[in-house]
Structure 1
Amino acid sequence: MKKRVGYVVALAAIAVAIWWYFGGNLAGNGNNKASGEEKPIAMSRGYGDTSQLQPHRLKLQQFLDRQMLGKDGVYTNYKETDEAAEVATGHETLSESAGLLLRYYALTGQKEAFDRVWMQTKRTFVTEAGFSYRYSPLHNKQYPLNAAVDDLRIIRSLHEAETVFGGDYGREADQYSARLYLHNVQNGKLFDFYDWTYKTTNDFITLCYADFQSLRLLDAPSKEKRKLEETLLEIVQGGYLSDAFPFYETRYGYATEKYGDHDGEINTVESLLTILHLAEIGEERPASVSYLKRLVEAGTLFGRYDREGQPVTDIQSTAAYAIAAMIGSTIGDQALYQASVRRMEQYRIGDESSPLGGSFGNEAVKEVYSFDNLTALLAYAY
C-alpha cells in the first residue's frame, strides 16, 4: 500500500473547513435523504442555500433525474441524434457529466443518489487506463481516450463523498488517481488525454485542465505532486493575457513552449474554469475578478472573445454564469454569486407545464445540454 499522507492532510483540511462552516456539526453520518432537501455541504459559502433558490435547484435536479438520466449516464442533449458526430451529441454520455453530478450529490449530502450514479459511472466509463471520456449507447462504443480534467473531477467527488458519508470512497479514489498519474502525468507534466489504443498522450495542456485542488488529492508522492503543481502554476499564470483583458490563454504546447489555440480566440467557459481553479488555491488575480464582475453586472459575458477582449459572438451561456457564481462563492464574494445566478436564471425554462420546465435550454427546438444544466445545478449547491 502506498503511503497516503498527502491525501490524509488534504482530507483533514476539507473536514476542518466543513466543520468550521457548520459550527462543528458535520452532516456526514451516512443517513442523508436522497430528496435534495438537505443543507448543501461544500467548501464554498453555501450562498445557493436560500428559500428563493432551493426550489429551483430541486426542480432542476428532478428534471435531470427524470428526463436526462439514462442507464448509461446523463444524456449530452435531451434531443436524440444518430450519435455519429466528432463530438458527443444526443443521448451519448460523458465522464464530464458524471463528475459534475457526483460532486453535486456529495456536496448536497445525498448518499443514495451518489452511490447510484457512482455505480453507473463505473459500469459505463471505467477502463484499465482510467475513465473513458465518452460512451455511445446507440453504437455501444466506449471511446479509447480519457480527459484528465474529468478524471480529476470524479476523483475529487469521491474524496468529498468520504468526508460527508464516510466509507471507502477515498480508497477507490486512490485507485483511479494512480491510473491517472501513471498515464496522464509524464516527466512531471500533466497532459490532457491518454489514448490507450496507441499508448500515448497528446503534446499539450489545456490550461483549464489544471484543477489544482483536485490534483492535491491524488495518491502520489508529495514531493512529485508539489513539483507538478509548481510547473502547472507557472504555465497557467504565464497564460494570463493582460490587465486590460484578464482572461487566460487556452493551451500550452510543451514542445513549442508557446500558448495559443487553432483559431486564436478565447473561450469564456475555459477561461472561467481556469480562474475558478486558481481561486480554489488562493491564486486568482484581482483584475480577473473585477473584470468578471463588470461583465456579469452588465449582462455582457459573451461566449468567445478575440485576444484583445472584443467579443466575437453575441451568444451567452448558462454555464458561463454558473461558473462565475462558483467563483463568487469560492472567494467569498456574495454579490458576484448572486448577480451571476440572476443572469444564469435568465435561461431557465419557467413553464411548469412543459416537460423541460425547470431546466436550462431552448424549448423551441427541444435542446437541453448536459454541461449547462449540470454546472447550473452545481452552482446552486455553492
Structure 2
Amino acid sequence: MTRHFYTQLIIIMSTVFLLVGCRKELKVSVPKNDSASFSTEKKVTKNPDEKRLQNFIETKMVQKKGIYTNYRNYPPQKEVATGHEMLSESSGLWLEHLARTHQNRKFVDFYQRTKKSFDLGAQFSYRLNPSTNKKSKVNATLDDLRIIRALQMYAQNTGSKKYRREAAKRFALLQTTSIQKDRVLNFYDVSSKKRSNEGSLSYYDLLTLRYFESTSKAGEKDYQKQVKLIENGYLGDIFPLYYSSYNWSTKQYSNSDLNTSEALVTLLHLSEVHKMKSTSLDWLKMQVDDQHLYNRYSISGVVQDRNQAAANYALAAMIFANQNDQDYYKKAINLALKGQVKDKNSKIYGAIGDLKTNDAYSFNNLLTLVASEY
C-alpha cells in the first residue's frame, strides 16, 4: 500500500479503509446523522467561583504535554500516577471543557498535543511521565472513549468533516484493541498484545457506544448487549447502585467495594441514555441532602471510606442536570465547589484543593469545571 491509499470521503455516511500496521485493513464507518446529545450550546462562565477554577486549571495545571495529575509534585510511583505525571483522563476532560465552551482553536491545538503525548497508534496511553517522555503501553478504555466523545462534540459544534472522521477512526481503532464486539474491556497492552478479562461497568460510555455502533445491525446488537450487562449488574433497591465490574472469564460480577466516583460514572452513563432508575436517583438525592456522598461503599451499602471528594458531587450535578432537576444540580455543584481555595496569597488560589499542603488533583478540578458547564 502507498501513502496515497487513503481516499477522500465524499458523503457523510461513508466507509474508508485505512492501513493498520502493514498487514491489516481497518474499516471505518462514519455515522450518517449527528446526535443531538453531542451538540452543545456555547457555555459562558459568569460565576466568580467557576472563573477562578478555570483560571487555576488553565494557568497552573495545563502544560505543553498535558495536565498535571496534582499541582503538588511527588516522586513518580509505580502503581499510580502522582504529582506532575499526566493522564489521558485529564486531557479528555480538558478537551470536553474546550468543546463545551467552543474554544475551537484551543481544542485543535490541545488535541494535537494530546496525540503527540499519548498516542500509541490504535489507542491512547493512560499515563505519561513528561520528564522522561515514558508512556504506559496500556490504555484505559474509558479515557479513550472520553477523547472520542470530545472529538465528536467538536465536529458537531464546528461542522468539521475532518474531525467527524477522526472520531470515527479512533473508535474503529479502539475496536481492534479493548472493545471487542459487546465487550468493553478495561485495557489492552500494546507490548504483550494482551487484553484485560474485566470490564468496569463505569467504562461503558453508553452514549458514545450507541452513536458509533449505530452504523451496522451487528453494532446495534452489541450496544443492546452492553446495556443489558450494565442493567443486570444492579445491586437492588436497598442499595441502588451497580457492581463495579464484570469478568468475562468467570462470567461473574465483582464483589469488590465500590469506588464512589466510578459508581457515579456508571449512573451518569445510564442517565445520558435515559436508563437511570428512580431508586438510584432518590438515593443520590438523599446523599446530597445529607452531604454524605462518601468515597467507598461495600456492595451491601456499608460505608468503607468516610472521606469525600469534590468529584463525587460534580458527577452528581451532571446526573441531576441530565434529569432536568435544577434544584439538585445547584445543590451538588455548590458542594463540589465548597472546597475551593479563596485565599489570594495561596499558590492554588481558585483550585479545589488543600490550602495547607497545596494538593490539588486534576480529577476533582476538571470534573467540577465540566459539571459547572452543564
Letter in 1 for 2:31: Y
- Confirm whether residue 13 of structure 1 aligns to residue 26 of structure 2: no
2:88 counterpart letter in structure 1: S
Which residue of the partner structure matches residue 166 of structure 2?
Answer: 172
Distance 1:148 1:349 in 2: 33
| Equivalent residues of 1:251, 1:260 under 8 A apart | yes
In structure 1, how many angstroms separate the alpha carbons of the residues matched to 2:124 and 2:51?
29
Q: Which amino acid aligns with 1:259?
A: Y
Q: Distance in 2 between matches of 1:164 and 1:230?
A: 28
Please give the per-residue CA displacement for 1:274-298, whole angstroms capped at 9, x wherever unaligned.
0000010000000000110010011
When residues 251 and 219 of structure 1 are mapped into structure 2, their CA distance, relative to the original with a 3 A threshold, is: closer
| SS in structure 1 of the partner of residue 352 of structure 2 | coil
Which amino acid is 2:355 matched to? E
Identical residues among aligned pairs (%) = 35
What residue in structure 1 maps to residue 310 of structure 2? 318
**1:2 lines up with 2:25 in the alignment:** no
Q: Which residues in structure 2 correspond to 1:295-374 (within 5 Å)?
A: 295-374=287-366
Aligned counterpart, 1:377: 369
Q: Out of 211, 223, 227, which is 2:205 matched to?
A: 211
Bigger mean CA offset, 298-307 vs 182-191 = 182-191
The TM-score normalised by the length of structure 1 is 0.87
Q: Residues 98 and 121 of structure 1 are in contact (CA less than 8 Å); yes or no, is this contact kept in structure 2?
A: yes
- The alpha-carbon deviation at position 82 of structure 1 amounts to 2.1
Secondary structure of the residue that 1:256 maps to in structure 2? coil
C-alpha spacing 1:173/1:329, structure 2 compared with 1 (3 Å): same
The aligned runs of 1:21-100 (5 Å cut-off) are 39-40=42-43, 51=46, 54-100=47-93
What SS is found at the alignment partner of 1:314?
strand
Partners of 1:50 and 1:80 in 2: CA distance: 29
- Structure 1 counterpart of 2:102: 109
Deviation at 1:95, TM superposition (A): 0.7
The range that moved more, 77-86 or 369-378, is 77-86
Equivalenced residue count is 349
**RMSD over aligned Cα atoms:** 1.9
Contact 1:245 1:309 in 2 (8 A): yes
Alpha-carbon distance in structure 2 between the residues aligned to 1:104 and 1:217: 20
How big is the shift at 1:222? 2.2
Specify the code of the residue in structure 2 equivalent to 1:367. D
8 Å contact kept, 1:156–1:217: no
Residues 198-347 of structure 1 aligned to structure 2 (within 5 Å):
198-218=192-212, 221-261=215-255, 264-347=256-339
Secondary structure in 1 matching 2:307: coil
Q: Which consecutive unaligned segments of at least 5 residues does structure 2 have?
A: 1-13, 17-27
CA positional deviation for 1:12 = 4.5
1:2 alignment partner AA: T
CA distance in 2, matches of 1:267, 1:82: 25
CA 310–127 in structure 1, closer or farther in 2 if over 3 Å, else same: same
**Per-residue deviation, 1:194:** 0.9
Mapped partners of 1:221, 1:169: distance in 2: 17
**Contact map agreement 1:178 1:219 (CA 8 A) in 2:** no
Separation in 1, partners of 2:86, 2:104: 22
The Cα shift of 1:246 comes to: 0.6
1:219–1:176 distance in 2 versus 1, CA, 3 Å: farther
Counterpart of 2:193, as a letter, is K
Instruction: Give the letter aligned to residue 276 of structure 1.
Output: L
1:121-136 correspondence runs (5 A): 121-136=114-129
Cα offsets for 1:100-140 (capped at 9, x unmatched): 01011101111122122112101101122211111111232
Runs of 4+ in structure 1 off by over 6 angstroms are 3-6
